[in-house]
Amino acid sequence: MKSQMTYLVHTHRHGFRAGKPAKILGVRFVTPKGHAGRVCYHVRFRDGKEDFVPLADQNNFKIISAADVRDGNIPEVTD
């Protein structure tokens, strides 16, 4: 089986670092203070900044391959 790194790109203009690919490190169950727990992608941006993106927010991001990042095939940011 062949695998490759995958990236998450926020496509909504209000997404954290919209239009910038972030490497998906894994999936975690996260409970932010004052909120209910949720399943999130754990991501890291090129500069080392990490974030957690709820899977339930899937209308606001796209998952792309390392080849897409290399070739510049980054999804557009929308309203």
Q: Two tokens at 46?
A: 């090129």
Run means of pLDDT, 10 residues per run, the chain, 79 residues: 91 96 97 95 98 95 96 93
Other beta carbons within 10 angstroms of residue 10's beta carbon come to: 23
pLDDT at 17: 96
| Paired strand residues for 9 | 62
Measured distance CA(72)–CA(53) in Å, rounded: 22
pLDDT at 38: 96
pLDDT at 36: 94
